[in-house]
A = this chain, B = another copy of it.
Amino acid sequence: MKSLEQLTDSVFYIMAALTEPRHGYAVMSLIEETTEGAFVVGPASLYTIIKKLVVEQLIQLHDDSDSRRKVYVLTDKGREILLEDIERRKTMIHLAEQGLQRGQK
C-alpha cells in the first residue's frame, strides 16, 4: 500500500472481513471459507497487513479484545476507502467484460 491508493487483493479481502469485528485468525479462516480455498492469506501476510492497516488507521482494535484475541474493525476512514475500492473494482470488471464481448474470438 503506497499510502492510500488502490488496495491489493489481500488487503481488500482482509478489510472486507473486518466490516464486522473479528480477530486475525477468524479473518484468515473466513477468507479461506468464503473463497472456497481459492484465496489463502497465511499468517505471515495476515499479521503483516493488519499491522500496516492499524498504522494507516483503516482498522482499529475493538473494545472486546482480550489478551488472547485481538479483535479489529474497520474505521470510518477504512470503510470509506473500501467503498472507493469497490467502485474501482467494478469499473475494472466492466472494462474487461466490454473488451471480451467485442474481442469475441
Contacts and interface: CB of A to CB of B under 8 A. Distances in A.
Interface of A: 5-6, 8-9, 12-13, 15-17, 19-20, 34-35, 38-39, 73-74, 76, 79, 82-83, 86, 88-93, 95-97, 99-100, 102-103, 105
A39 B86 contact: no
A95 B34 contact: yes
A92 B6 contact: no
A15 to B, nearest CB: 8
Contacts of A74: 103
Nearest to A91: B35
A92 B9 contact: yes
Contacts of A19: 96, 99-100, 102-103
